[in-house]
């Protein structure tokens, strides 16, 4: 389990097995967040910029 923080609302997120460039949704504010960097016990997130791109759900 890796901890991250939503850059939008500051909520703490627990991610099971994050992968860089994966998109996760903040359970608090519903923002789509992109995994930028995964460290040993911490993950860096930024608000995803999706420009009409199909991520295949």
Interface with Zn ion (CB under 5 A): 6, 8-9, 11, 26, 28-29, 31
CB of 54 to Zn ion, least distance (A): 24
Of the two residues 19 and 29, which places its CB atom closer to Zn ion in the complex?
29
Q: How far is CA 2 from CA 24, 42, 53, 54, in A?
A: 13, 5, 27, 27
Of the two residues 31 and 34, which places its CB atom closer to Zn ion in the complex?
31
Three-state secondary-structure class, residue 34: strand
d(CA 5, CA 7): 6
CB of 12 to Zn ion, least distance (A): 10
């Amino acid at each position: 389990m890796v901890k991250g923080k939503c850059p939008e609302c500051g909520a703490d997120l627990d991610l099971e097995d994050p992968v860089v460039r994966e998109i996760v949704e903040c359970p608090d504010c519903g923002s789509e967040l992109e995994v930028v960097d995964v460290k040993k016990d911490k993950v860096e997130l930024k608000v995803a910029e999706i420009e009409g791109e199909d991520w295949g759900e």
